[in-house]
Amino acid sequence: MAAWRAALSEVLPAEVLAGLEADRFAAAWRAAIDTPPSAKHRMLTACDGAEVVGFAALAPAPQTQETGEIVALEVDPAHIRAGHGSRLLAACTDILRATAASHVRAWAIEGDDARADFLAAAGMEPLGIRRVLDVPGSRVHELAWSAVL
């Protein structure tokens, strides 16, 4: 939850962030882990000892079987720059290669320069595709990034 709040703090109103309910998020992620929609949907975690400090979620990209999509990749703010994000990204690409994906796609919130820099440093490039997500009280603009595996 802290990772999402930190990532979204620049683009969402404070009242929206305050309304994020940890129990509701936990229930949704638990369901995604317990009953994934397909064999290509995966959840990964990054740990520092016994503590979970980050996670990533993979899914097939809509409208193409050749592209795997990193739906989420977040690291707790207290553990950023310790290599957890890079290891999660590497694990995602390893899984996608093993499941016959030829491309990986991820999304970065417009204006999230740290995320864009991370994706660029990993060899991903902007696709020129933009989507808009409606969230209570705001709209979030995301840009697609991609790389050949």
DSSP 96-134: HHHTT--EEEEEEETT-HHHHHHHHHTT-EEEEEEEEEE
- Tell me the pLDDT tens digit for each residue of 16-66: 667 677 788 778 778 888 888 888 899 999 999 999 999 999 999 887 778
| Residue range 88-111: mean pLDDT, rounded | 94
pLDDT of residue 8: 65
| Residue range 85-104: mean pLDDT, rounded | 95
pLDDT of residue 143: 96
How far apart are alpha carbons 72 and 29 in whole angstroms?
Answer: 11
Helix (H, G, I), strand (E, B) or coil at 83: coil
**CATH number of the domain bearing residue 95:** 3.40.630.30
Quote the pTM value: 0.83
| Residue range 116-140: mean pLDDT, rounded | 91
Beta strands 125-135; 138-148: pairing state: antiparallel
Number of domains comprising the chain:
1
Q: In terms of residue numbers, what domain contains 130?
A: 2-148
Cα separation values, 149 from 10, 31, 59, 103, 143, Å? 31, 29, 15, 5, 19
Helix (H, G, I), strand (E, B) or coil at 136: coil
Q: Six-digit token pair at 46? A: 């990054």
pLDDT interval class at 111 (50, 70, 90)? confident
Helices then strands (H, E): number in the chain?
Answer: 5, 6
pLDDT of residue 103: 95
